[in-house]
């Protein structure tokens, strides 16, 4: 009997020992199941002279219930702890009106009129700043200035106002018109005139589709027909020097 009790105590101690470290890995992200971010659009201005970016984000949100009055995208705020890196929000607009906001603790709280069930709402966020991480800016080994996104797993918030968690999936795929939308903006000082190859991947069971687009103007909006939402888009897939976009998670510019 004593032997049996000792084993029970040992098992309970072992369970407690195993459970304690697991609690530190608990997912404490404040999920909002009644808020569905449907679509992100980012218009970002980069510069060869400074790491400072200026950006406008347009977020299309579907509210699944009545009475929701707050949207909570993640966005790292400018801070002395980050050597004054981080983002500063200029204004937030929805339906032509400026929305009250609170920006702190790397969270942007947007106060909205009470939602209506299953109604979509477009929200525009204008902001600026120097990314602390997520968007890496600097010279490569050839001393060429480069911009590279490294958003996984939750670094997008450093330069993109997003629900920065895998539970919420938004795309730049227009499901109504069944097209992939890509906006391209080149620097003011020079404009490249060249073809750019894209590999469009929908899922593992379907081979990737090669698409060639022509870059010949500073600002180009490209629409590519696609019956199925893409999971990934590879830019310049032969050398893979430019970027990779993950559409199932969010837009990576």
Integer Cα distance of 152 and 154 in angstroms: 5
Integer Cα distance of 199 and 186 in angstroms: 21
User: What pLDDT score was predicted for residue 233?
Assistant: 67
Clarify whether residues 147 and 230 are in a common domain. Answer: no
Integer Cα distance of 41 and 44 in angstroms: 10
Other C-beta atoms closer than 10 Å to the C-beta of 45 total 13
CATH number, domain at 78? 2.60.40.1730
Q: Are 61 and 71 within 8 A, CB to CB?
A: yes
Order of strands, sheet of 194-201, starting from the edge strand that comes earlier in the sequence: 209-215, 194-201, 232-235, 243-246
Tell which wins on pLDDT, 83 or 3: 83
Clarify whether residues 126 and 192 are in a common domain. Answer: no
18 domain residue, yes or no = no
Question: Average of pLDDT values for 59-70?
Answer: 95
Hey, what are 145's tokens?
A: 């200035």
Hey, what are 192's tokens?
A: 């490249």
Helical segments of 26-145, H only:
none
Integer Cα distance of 244 and 241 in angstroms: 9
Clarify whether residues 120 and 209 are in a common domain. Answer: no
23 domain residue, yes or no = no
The region that residue 38 occupies, defined by phi over 0 for left and psi between -120 and 50 for alpha, beta otherwise, is alpha
Which range of 19-28, 74-83, 148-157, 231-240 scores highest in mean pLDDT? It is 74-83
pLDDT per position as a tens digit, 189-245: 666 677 777 777 776 566 677 878 777 777 777 777 877 766 666 666 665 444 444
pLDDT per position as a tens digit, 100-147: 999 999 999 999 999 999 999 999 999 999 999 998 888 888 888 888
Clarify whether residues 209 and 230 are in a common domain. Answer: yes
Largest CA distance in the chain: 84
Clarify whether residues 192 and 128 are in a common domain. Answer: no
Position of tokens 């629900």? Answer: 163
**Domain assignment of residue 154, given as a range:** 30-170
DSSP state at residue 113: S
- Please state whether beta strands 135-139 and 145-149 pair in parallel, antiparallel, or not at all (unpaired): antiparallel
pLDDT per position as a tens digit, 76-96: 999 999 999 999 999 999 999
Clarify whether residues 87 and 121 are in a common domain. Answer: yes
Other C-beta atoms closer than 10 Å to the C-beta of 243 total 14
Clarify whether residues 114 and 185 are in a common domain. Answer: no
Question: Which of 153, 170, 187 marks a domain boundary?
Answer: 170
Clarify whether residues 140 and 213 are in a common domain. Answer: no
Q: Are 217 and 116 within 8 A, CB to CB?
A: no
Backbone torsions φ then ψ of 22, nearest 5 degrees: -65, -30
- Please state whether beta strands 209-215 and 243-246 pair in parallel, antiparallel, or not at all (unpaired): unpaired
Question: Average of pLDDT values for 146-173?
Answer: 79
User: What pLDDT score was predicted for residue 157?
Assistant: 95
């Amino acid at each position: 009997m004593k032997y049996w009790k000792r084993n029970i105590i040992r098992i309970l101690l072992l369970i407690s020992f195993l459970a304690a470290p697991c609690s530190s890995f608990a997912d404490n992200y404040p999920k909002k199941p009644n808020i569905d971010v449907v679509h992100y659009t980012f218009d970002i201005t980069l510069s060869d002279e400074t790491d400072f970016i200026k950006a406008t984000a347009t977020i299309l949100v579907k509210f699944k219930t009545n009475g929701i009055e707050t949207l909570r995208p993640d966005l790292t705020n400018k801070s002395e702890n980050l050597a004054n890196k981080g983002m500063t929000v200029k204004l937030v607009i929805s339906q032509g009106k400026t929305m009250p906001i609170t920006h702190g603790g790397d969270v942007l709280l947007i106060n909205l009129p009470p939602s209506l069930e299953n109604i979509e709402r477009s929200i525009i966020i204008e902001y600026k700043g120097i990314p602390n991480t997520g968007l890496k800016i600097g010279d490569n080994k050839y001393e060429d200035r480069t911009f590279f996104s490294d958003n996984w797993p939750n670094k997008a918030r450093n330069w993109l106002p997003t629900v920065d968690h895998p539970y919420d999936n938004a795309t730049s795929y227009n499901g109504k018109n069944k097209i992939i939308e890509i906006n391209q903006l080149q620097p003011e000082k020079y404009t490249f005139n060249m073809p750019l190859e894209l590999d469009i991947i929908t899922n593992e069971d379907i081979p990737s589709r090669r698409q060639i687009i022509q870059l010949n103007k500073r600002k180009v909006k490209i629409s590519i027909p696609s019956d199925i939402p893409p999971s990934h888009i590879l830019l310049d897939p032969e050398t893979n020097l430019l970027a990779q976009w993950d559409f199932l998670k969010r837009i990576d510019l």
